């Protein structure tokens, strides 16, 4: 491979966050790289989401031992694993059965979807606010507008996190109540993990906007945040939708 001369290295961008590995880069170059990385991350996260939904429908369709909507615990189940490290029946159903011989016949109730819908609405609003902050930066570059939207963005993400935690407390079942309950709570845990990440980013956006760090055409940073927040909103809606519609 012939390597001939040169490129003139005249990027000279002096902003601190445009350096990496000791060399200078243009904002355009950083933007391109970060957006591509983000889309790859979203692709991987999207696959995780698809697999989560696969788990939901798979366990629901198989309904192994009638355990999707858990209803009973029999002696046969309690003795199914003699010598195992734990008694699956009494441990797995600690809240409903203290004895392996106890027959529980009432199915666990469906979770109220309202809380999930509230979480989804809050994160959608947060995504719209992130979008607004990006537009404000792109069009006006104003400190006040971005700072205000950034603060609201953070508040809404925080509210969605709180609501998600409240939902955990309001559930009419716990993790041990069969496959439906397990998968439902896993969906919520997954959503909470995403919301915490967005919360971290939202606080950073707000804080940095206060320091006027998104001025001078640096809206591309906000675009990255907006894209990720929109993705989290979409994935939350999908998980809430699946868990609400397919009991």
Partner 1 sequence: MSTATEIHYLEDTNLGPKAGGLYRRQNIFTGLAVGIISGFIGWLVSHALLQSSNWGTDMVVTVTMASWVIGFNAGMGTFNAPFRWLRGKDQTHEDELYAAGVSQGGWRYWKYCTDHKVVGTQYLVFVMALFGVGGALAMMIRTQLITPHSTFLDPETYNAIVTIHGMTMIIATIIMVSGPFANFIMPIMIGAKDMAFPRLNAMSFWVIFSAVPPLMATFFLGGVDAGWTTYAPLSVQAPAAMDAFAICIITFVVSVTVAGINTVVTIMTMRAKGMTMGRLPIFVWASMVGGALGLYAMPAFLLDMSMMITDRATGTSFFVNQVGGNGWLWENVFWIMGHPEVYVILIPGVGAILEICSTFARKPVFAYKVAIAGFVGIASLSIMVWAHHMFTTGWAPLLAGPFMVTTELISIPTGIIFLVIVGTLWKGSIWTRLPMYFAYLFLWNFIIGGVTGIYLSDVPADQYFHGDMFVTAHFHYTLLGGAMIGATAGVCYWFNKMTGRMLDEKIGKVAFWFIAIGIQVTYFGQFWEGFQGMPRRVAYYDPIFLHANQMSTAGAYVLMLGWLIFLYAMIHSWRNGEIAPPNPWHARTLEWLIPTPVPLENFLVDPVVTEDPYGYGDTPPPGQLAPFAEPEPEREPELVPVGADASASDGGSH
Question: 88 or 155, CB closer to partner 1?
Answer: 88
Q: Is 135 in the site for partner 1 (CB under 8 A)?
A: no
Q: Is 127 in the site for partner 1 (CB under 8 A)?
A: no
User: What is the nearest approach in angstroms of partner 1 to the Cβ of residue 18?
Assistant: 9
Q: Is 161 in the site for partner 1 (CB under 8 A)?
A: no
Q: Is 156 in the site for partner 1 (CB under 8 A)?
A: no
Q: How many other C-beta atoms lie within 10 A of the C-beta of residue 71?
A: 16
Binding mask 26-55 for partner 1 (x = CB under 8 A): ---x--xx--xx--xx-xxx-xx--xx-xx
User: What is the nearest approach in angstroms of partner 1 to the Cβ of residue 82?
Assistant: 12
| Residues in region 189-218 near partner 1 by CB under 8 A | 189, 200, 203-204, 207-208, 210-211, 213
Q: 160 near 123, Cβ under 8 Å?
A: yes
Q: Is 99 in the site for partner 1 (CB under 8 A)?
A: no
DSSP H or E stretch at residue 197? helix 178-210
Give 60-116 as a 3 state SS string.
Answer: HHHCHHHCCCCCCCCHHHHCCCCCCCCCHHHHHCCCCCCCCCCCCCCCCCCCCCHHH
Of 78-86, 115-123, 160-168, 226-234, the segment contacting partner 1 by CB under 8 A is: 78-86
* Binding-residue total with partner 1 (CB under 8 A): 77
Q: How many whole angstroms separate alpha carbon 90 and alpha carbon 77?
A: 10
Of 10-18, 140-148, 155-163, 224-232, the segment contacting partner 1 by CB under 8 A is: 10-18
76 alpha carbon, distance to own chain's centre: 39
Rg of the chain in Å (alpha carbons): 24
Q: Is 59 in the site for partner 1 (CB under 8 A)?
A: yes
Question: 121 or 223, CB closer to partner 1?
Answer: 223
For residue 20, the SS3 value is: strand
Q: 93 near 85, Cβ under 8 Å?
A: no
User: What is the nearest approach in angstroms of partner 1 to the Cβ of residue 179?
Assistant: 3
User: What is the nearest approach in angstroms of partner 1 to the Cβ of residue 70?
Assistant: 6
DSSP H or E stretch at residue 24? strand 23-24
């Amino acid at each position: 491979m012939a390597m001939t001369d040169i490129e003139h290295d005249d990027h000279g961008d002096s902003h601190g966050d445009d350096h990496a590995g000791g060399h200078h880069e243009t904002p355009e170059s950083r933007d391109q790289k970060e957006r591509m990385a983000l889309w790859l991350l979203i692709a991987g996260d999207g696959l995780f989401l698809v697999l989560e939904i696969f788990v939901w429908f798979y366990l629901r369709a198989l309904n192994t031992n009638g355990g999707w909507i858990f209803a009973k615990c029999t002696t046969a189940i309690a003795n199914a694993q003699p010598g195992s490290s734990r008694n699956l029946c009494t441990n797995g159903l600690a809240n409903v059965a203290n004895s392996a011989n106890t027959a529980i016949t009432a199915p666990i109730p469906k979770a109220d979807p309202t809380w999930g819908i509230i979480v989804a609405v809050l994160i959608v609003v947060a995504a719209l606010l992130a979008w607004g902050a990006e537009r404000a930066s792109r069009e006006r570059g104003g400190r006040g507008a971005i700072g205000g939207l950034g603060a609201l963005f953070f508040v809404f993400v925080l509210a969605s996190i709180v609501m998600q935690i409240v939902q955990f407390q309001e559930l009419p079942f716990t993790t041990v109540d069969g496959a439906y309950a397990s998968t439902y709570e896993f969906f919520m845990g997954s959503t909470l993990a995403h919301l915490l990440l967005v919360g971290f980013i939202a606080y950073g956006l707000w804080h940095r906007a206060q320091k006027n760090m998104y001025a001078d055409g640096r809206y591309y940073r906000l675009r990255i945040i907006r894209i990720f927040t929109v993705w989290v909103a979409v994935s939350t809606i999908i998980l809430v939708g699946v868990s609400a519609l397919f009991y």
